[in-house]
Structure 1
Amino acid sequence: MVLNRELVNPASMKQALIASARRLSGVNMFEQGHRKLDLIRAYQILNRYKPQSQCPYMWPYCSQPIYYGGMPTIVNVTILNGMGVTGRILDKPIWQPYLPQNGDHIDVAVSYLPVLWPWAGALADSISVAKKSASWEGIAQGHVMVTVSSPVGNNSEVDGEMTSMVKLPVKVKIEPTPPRSKRVLWDQYHNLRMKNDPLYWDIDGGQ
């Protein structure tokens, strides 16, 4: 069977490798990462591949609701620029909440590298719950709009730049801020903004 080359790109390859990987026995999730590669199984998945967005791809963040006062959830995004070796992000990425889908219940801040080189760039979406939603529960949606520009190649008869727009969908579940006695402070990546005391109790804002 021949692979559909139009669907084979870095994103689909990553999904196929993760979905096909096999768990290592006797090793916890932080020691084995995304498990042991199984290339034959990955090839079989690519043979029947369809674009997808699954929770395991963003686990554990996709399975956890967020709440006002908690640490922001940061999603790092790699932008693949197929228009040329160099490129740039025009203006500032725009957060566009879907108002019928409660998008105004979340705040999204974007930090990014303005230059894409070679062939790729990065940005980070910081997602937090708006103050007015401290007692609200539901699903909030929207998207971040990014416009990428690249110069036309020297061999082209057309001068100027090519542009492409990318929509990065955002969908989160929000729950009311739980009382302090029901919270668990767990951050395996050691990125908490704490004071001198590593057991500082007020780390999540004391809401």
Structure 2
Amino acid sequence: MSTDPRPRSAHRLPAAVALTGPGIRLREWTDADLPLLVDLFDEVETARWTPLASPFDADAAREFLTKARVARAEHRAVQLAVTLDGDEPCGVVMLFLGLDERPDQAELAYAIGAAHRGRGLAAKAVRLMTDYAYHVVGVPTVGLRIPPDNVASIGVARATGFVRSDAPPIVRDRRGGAFTLDLWLHRPVP
């Protein structure tokens, strides 16, 4: 039984996903990735901007992978490793079904490890996952939730066709504290 309070989506996620684009490959996480998850996500900027555990240790990595697999089995989310060639993970990109209590829409999130930033991987991953959300999953709307002072993520949103909506910011709990997020919606090119 799911503990996620969001409404169930009518959309179904395929059992396995691998997406490839210029200079990037998104793939499923494996148990062999567990030690690499710690290297990717146990750092200051990831702790500052994401709800991932901090410190992000081996237990947090196992919990991350377990939750990702449960969410997939329940058709609530797909969380893929961002890689250059299908091998070493450089980050994660996530597609959650449901946006603002609307199960027919999707929300994306991502995190790129510090050693891999500045190479355009976040934008490439967001483009691939947005396309996947529209053309494979079939959602009509894709959104990002971004803190108003996260300049790097705002840059990724703009570069990938997202526009800040006029919806009021939401506040989510993050490690026991309030975290304010603006809604950015994708505007597909006609």
TM-score interval for Structure 1 and Structure 2 normalised by the shorter chain? under 0.3
Structure with more of its chain in helix, by fraction: 2
Q: Which has the larger radius of gyration?
A: 1
TM-score (structure 2 length as normaliser): 0.28
TM-score (structure 1 length as normaliser): 0.26
